[in-house]
Amino acid sequence: MRNLCLGILFTVFTLSATAQTPTPAIPNLAQLNQMASRFAPTELRVDTSVLSAGDRAALAKLIEAARVIDDIQLAQKWDGNLALRIKLAREQSPLGKARFHYFWINKGPWSILDENGPFIPGVPARPLGANFYPARLSKEVLEKWMANLKPDERTEAQGFFTVIGRDKTEGASSTLKIVPYSQEYGSELKKAADLLRAAARLTENVSLKKFLSLRADAFGSNDYFDSDVAWMDLDSPLDVTIGPYETYDDELFGYKAAFEAYINVRDDKESKKLEFFGQHLQSIENNLPISAEYRNPRIGASSPITVVNEVFGAGDGNQGVQTAAYNLPNDERVIQQKGSKRVMLKNVQHAKFEQILVPISKTVLTPAAQSDLDFEFFFTHILAHELTHGLGPHLITVNGRETNPRQELKELYSAVEEAKADVTGLFALQYMMDNHLLRESLGEGEAAERKLYTTYLASSFRTLRFGVKDAHARGMAMQFNFLRDRGAFVLQPEGTFAVDFTKIKRAIRDLDHELLMLEATGDYAKTKETLARLSVIRPEVQSALDKLKSLPTDIETIFVTADSVAPRVKRAAIKTLKVSK
Ligand code: ZN
């Protein structure tokens, strides 16, 4: 899944934000340009000199394979998508060019930020089941058909890697049939598999060779299990995720996986930092601001995190809002055996920081505070957030009953847990600074603290920008208002905000205590009261947010390194992929 934590909060609330400004049925040129301007064009460059010669050669093959994934995912979204792309690519008028540009951002003719409203005349409403089910077939009919299948057939029909097509064979027992991806997208998957095998021959890394070979096999066999396991074991400077993964595009059932690819170079400096943090997690737990009885004397192993820089993203991994972190695989069978892995795209986070957080800070911070905005602290706090999800109460006792915070706090849990990770992350970094553990990687003392808390203050506006409908934003509003009430965030006469450094550390500690105790006691009533009181947008925040409306929502990636490593060659564009419908 896409990581919903801090990492991508730039953008997950955009639907509610844009719902307030309904777009006209089909936008004209000016409107279309305005819509596209919400994505700030950003060049992504990655230093590939850290790779071996073999890996650099493999990288070119992998980028080519990812471009094939783009074609497959276009076909998955809508039957008419590939043909429409060809038509739009030929357009020469300014409007035609603007349509092609925005089509490519959205990977289709529907505007993702505008509740999937169409922006090209003559296209149908976005099909809820994308191109995974026969067009115009109702959910009820499909459900009924699935219910009557034999159990193993039903599993296939509801599986990640099949589409449902119309069976036109003479005398077929049903009008519908199950078609595996390996058949539906056979010709393109063969191309991609050949490129993965070529890359496997070029790299010297054993774990990468293994993953690429098994994934190439999976494209042909439609069995992804072994290659998912190999992906979990991947330990390579050239880092690859390629295949069918996310099910968000299947809004009918959420069964079908869209193809995507992320071709990355591992960031070894950040990976070392993570490893170092990992060594200190138990000692942070032992010092959490709650009484010892609530602390965990032996925290469990946390799921692995890899920090990478993205060279190229394709398919579902490069449409609309840019993914800044993802957690895969989604297949429960693999998760049970191997767990899951989180991949964080550092350069994408950096691009969003520059394009969105820096402009936000110019509006919400005092001029003096703006120079303390710092990407290293921003990113390290995200890492700390991810790691500290694993700290604090996880198994609790309520009235003699063994349970857990999620069970007790129910629908309120996510907001509390996200706030807990934010605040415990800050607590952890402060603890490490106080114990001289960050002297080399981040620095310590007054200057470092100024950067940490100022960056945190600015980034809270990035989260609050789209309202408090989402659990993450509710958690953020709770933090913000608590710190305001404690005088740790101060409102300036001109409407900007600043940190009071004499108060922030104590306030963070107290807030962490409150959040951890809500989880430790599983107190639903108190949590409900706290959220009702604090998870609101107060007028002072709203007037700051009003000034942010014209800032970009997200970035549009321009893959400079990818285009130089593997220059785009003109090839015959395919018009259609489907065989089953
Ligand atoms: Zn989180």
3-state secondary structure (DSSP) of residue 226:
helix
Å from CA of 415 to ligand 1 middle: 10
123 burial via Cβ count (<10 Å: 0-12, 13-18, 19+): middle
Per-residue pLDDT tens digits for 518-530? 999 999 999 999 9
Annotate 529-577 with DSSP letters as a single string.
HHHHHHSS--HHHHHHHHTTTTS-SEEEEEEHHHHHHS-----PPP---
pLDDT confidence of residue 512: 98
Per-residue pLDDT tens digits for 54-105? 999 999 999 999 999 999 999 999 999 999 999 999 999 999 999 999 999 9
Å from CA of 412 to ligand 1 middle: 14
Per-residue pLDDT tens digits for 249-280? 999 999 999 999 999 999 999 988 998 998 99
What Rg value do the Cα atoms of the chain yield, rounded? 25
Q: d(Cα 127, Cα 493) in Å, to the nearest integer?
A: 50
Q: d(Cα 357, Cα 230) in Å, to the nearest integer?
A: 37
Å from CA of 322 to ligand 1 middle: 18
Identity of the residue numbered 547: K
Å from CA of 257 to ligand 1 middle: 24
Å from CA of 421 to ligand 1 middle: 6
Place of tokens 């809820």: 128
Are 113 and 19 in contact, with CB atoms under 8 Å apart?
no
Å from CA of 171 to ligand 1 middle: 53
Are 327 and 341 in contact, with CB atoms under 8 Å apart?
yes
Å from CA of 481 to ligand 1 middle: 19
Confidence of residue 16 (pLDDT cuts 50, 70, 90): very low
> Which of 20-29, 142-151, 188-197 is least confident?
20-29
Identity of the residue numbered 48: T
Å from CA of 469 to ligand 1 middle: 16
Q: d(Cα 228, Cα 211) in Å, to the nearest integer?
A: 8
Does residue 479 register a pLDDT over 50?
A: yes
Helices in 91-150 by DSSP H: which ranges?
A: 94-106, 139-147
Å from CA of 345 to ligand 1 middle: 15
Please give the helix or strand (H or E) that residue 290 lies within, else none: none
Confidence of residue 18 (pLDDT cuts 50, 70, 90): very low
Å from CA of 556 to ligand 1 middle: 24
Place of tokens 């997690």: 281
**pLDDT mean over 428-436:** 97
Are 200 and 208 in contact, with CB atoms under 8 Å apart?
yes
Å from CA of 420 to ligand 1 middle: 9
Are 159 and 132 in contact, with CB atoms under 8 Å apart?
no
Å from CA of 382 to ligand 1 middle: 9
Does residue 23 register a pLDDT over 70?
A: no
- List the Cα angle 461/535/365 in 5-degree steps: 20
Q: d(Cα 350, Cα 330) in Å, to the nearest integer?
A: 26
Cis peptide before 367 (omega within 30 of 0): no
Å from CA of 7 to ligand 1 middle: 8
Q: How far is CA 404 from the centre of its chain?
A: 26
Are 196 and 183 in contact, with CB atoms under 8 Å apart?
no
Cα dihedral 357, 358, 359, 364 in deg (nearest 10): 80
pLDDT confidence of residue 172: 77
Per-residue pLDDT tens digits for 344-369? 999 999 999 999 999 999 999 999 99
3-state secondary structure (DSSP) of residue 390:
coil
**pLDDT mean over 474-494:** 97
> Which of 106-120, 324-338, 361-375 is least confident?
324-338
Identity of the residue numbered 57: A
**pLDDT mean over 11-21:** 41
pLDDT confidence of residue 579: 53
Tokens found for residue 437 = 């553990």
Å from CA of 327 to ligand 1 middle: 12
Does residue 287 register a pLDDT over 70?
A: yes
The DSSP letter of residue 253 is T
pLDDT confidence of residue 9: 40
Q: How far is CA 340 from the centre of its chain?
A: 15
Å from CA of 478 to ligand 1 middle: 15
Per-residue pLDDT tens digits for 514-566? 999 999 999 999 999 999 999 999 999 999 999 999 999 999 999 999 999 99
Å from CA of 6 to ligand 1 middle: 6
- Which residues pair with residue 178 across a beta bridge? 164
Place of tokens 């032996």: 298
Å from CA of 472 to ligand 1 middle: 8
- CA 509 vs CA 132, 431, 512: distances in Å: 50, 10, 5
Please give the helix or strand (H or E) that residue 315 lies within, else none: strand 305-315
Å from CA of 324 to ligand 1 middle: 13
Does residue 7 register a pLDDT over 80?
A: no
| Strand runs labelled E in 445-549 | 489-491, 497-499
Beta carbons within 10 angstroms of residue 558's beta carbon: 12
Identity of the residue numbered 533: R
> How do 238-246 and 176-180 pair as beta strands?
unpaired
Percentage of residues of the chain with pLDDT beyond 90: 83
Å from CA of 202 to ligand 1 middle: 37
Q: How far is CA 233 from the centre of its chain?
A: 21
pLDDT confidence of residue 6: 43
The DSSP letter of residue 365 is B
What's the chain's average pLDDT? Answer: 92
pLDDT confidence of residue 174: 77
Beta carbons within 10 angstroms of residue 573's beta carbon: 11
Å from CA of 4 to ligand 1 middle: 6
Are 310 and 263 in contact, with CB atoms under 8 Å apart?
yes
Å from CA of 207 to ligand 1 middle: 29
Å from CA of 417 to ligand 1 middle: 7
